[in-house]
Amino acid sequence: MARVAVVGAGAMGLAAAYHALKLGHQVTVFEGDRVAGGMAAHFDFDGLSIERFYHFICKADRATFDLMAELGISDKLIWRDTSMGYYVDGRHYRWGDPLALLAFPKLGLLDKLRYGLHMFLSTRRRDWSALEHVNARDWFVKWHGRRAYEVLWRRLFDLKFFEYADDISAAWIWTRIKRVGTSRRSVFQEQLGCIDGGSEVLIEALVGAVEGRGGKVRLGARVSQITSEAGRVTGLVVDGERLAFDAVISTVPTPFVSALVPGLSDAAKARYDAIRNIGVVCVLLKLAKPVTQHFWLNVNDAGIDIPGIVEFSNLRKLPDTVVYVPYYMPQTHPKFTRSNEAFVAEAYGYLRKLNPALQPQDLKASQVGRLRYAQPVCPPGFLAKLPKVQTEIAGLQIADTCFYYPEDRGISESVRYGQLMARAVTEPAVWEAEGR
């Protein structure tokens, strides 16, 4: 069997390594960071081990459930009744079920019926081909009308995608609506999952399973080059050392690919370089009091420049209130380089607006996580822009979170792709079946 190198020890890389070992390959994972987990990695937050970036699980996340079952950690999966709120122009509203929609005063009855019907049909839809060339804004305006788009969506898009806000694929946003919209106990009750102990439990179980099967996970090992000769991968370079492999699976974000793989043609590099990503500055706050009773709160308020907050302790039971305040933005945005202190001060100021009962002394701890490439931007027609996972270099597969478009980035899809990449080492037809 093959000597397989996996670049990246996030969910995709570790799942690829685990499944490649099961298929009998000899596997080494190279991770540039000092911890495994990638976007799902934990850190020490004032004595609490927690994800740098919030993670919830939906009922559609089958690949995660299957993997957890295989790893013997299904009992760590916890489901909770969760709720959503909407803060619009200085007031809180309930959101996320038909009664909340009917009671929402910012829209007329017809707009509400159109919105409700659209959301319902989106959770039932299976085929996304008709949405592939449709712009998300046009799709929403067509279904709900302009007023509902302005009230419910425009600011969310603007504050997440900035200059790309009007160039987002309807197919991509549809999968998000469907994934969350079907994670319910009943039409009136949303239900989300989390892992008891956090995503780290899954990451550690994967690392353990990889090492238990004889694989190696090398942390702090940044790959500087993936090498090839005469159109076939030969291995990689790490810490100045050339290592030989028969197959390489890269799971690093696409913006890194063209520099990492000099053997790719200019045309292939241009395809990776054309995929845009936005970054995130994610403020994490520990508080003495809750902000709301909701897991998530969407915000549409001229004085608050974020699209929402995630009150994580309303999902995973924690000793204190823990809130994530994500600032998504392109790296070119002037705010991106602001200091952590400036982000914390602003974010806590917003929370105090959302809940005036919060006092300065209620802020117990804060941390800021930053990622330069946190969210791929998927415009209409994105499928045709995606490179093939099996590259033009034999033995080299490359994917990141945008490759499973129209699905949004998520642990479950990364895990599923990791498994497919492992199989494709000897079975390239896997990608034909997947349409990639």
Ligand X SMILES: Cc1cc2nc3c(=O)[nH]c(=O)nc-3n(C[C@H](O)[C@H](O)[C@H](O)COP(=O)(O)OP(=O)(O)OC[C@H]3O[C@@H](n4cnc5c(N)ncnc54)[C@H](O)[C@@H]3O)c2cc1C
- Interface residues with ligand X (CB under 6 A) are 7-13, 30-33, 38-40, 53-56, 222-223, 251-253, 256, 260, 280, 282, 326, 371, 374, 400-401, 409-412, 414
Distance CA 282, CA 98 (A): 31
Nearer of residues 135 and 250 to ligand X, judged by Cβ: 250
Min dist. Cβ of residue 126 to ligand X (A):
21
Nearer of residues 101 and 205 to ligand X, judged by Cβ: 205
Using an 8 Å Cβ cutoff, are 277 and 329 in contact? no
Cis peptide before 406 (omega within 30 of 0): yes
Min dist. Cβ of residue 353 to ligand X (A):
22
Three-class SS of 145-162: CHHHHHHHHHHHHHHHHH
Min dist. Cβ of residue 347 to ligand X (A):
14
Using an 8 Å Cβ cutoff, are 358 and 352 in contact? yes
Nearer of residues 7 and 291 to ligand X, judged by Cβ: 7
Residue-by-residue DSSP string for 5-66:
EEE--SHHHHHHHHHHHHTT-EEEEE-SSSSS-GGG-EEEETTEEEESS---B-TT-HHHHH
Min dist. Cβ of residue 401 to ligand X (A):
5
Min dist. Cβ of residue 312 to ligand X (A):
10
Nearer of residues 96 and 410 to ligand X, judged by Cβ: 410
Distance CA 138, CA 142 (A): 6
Residue-by-residue DSSP string for 352-404:
HHH-TT--GGGEEEEEEEEEEEEEE---TTHHHHSPPSB-SSBTEEE--TTTT
Nearer of residues 88 and 396 to ligand X, judged by Cβ: 396
Which amino acid type is present at position 100?
Answer: A
Min dist. Cβ of residue 402 to ligand X (A):
10
Nearer of residues 114 and 388 to ligand X, judged by Cβ: 388
The residue at minimum Cβ distance from ligand X is 38
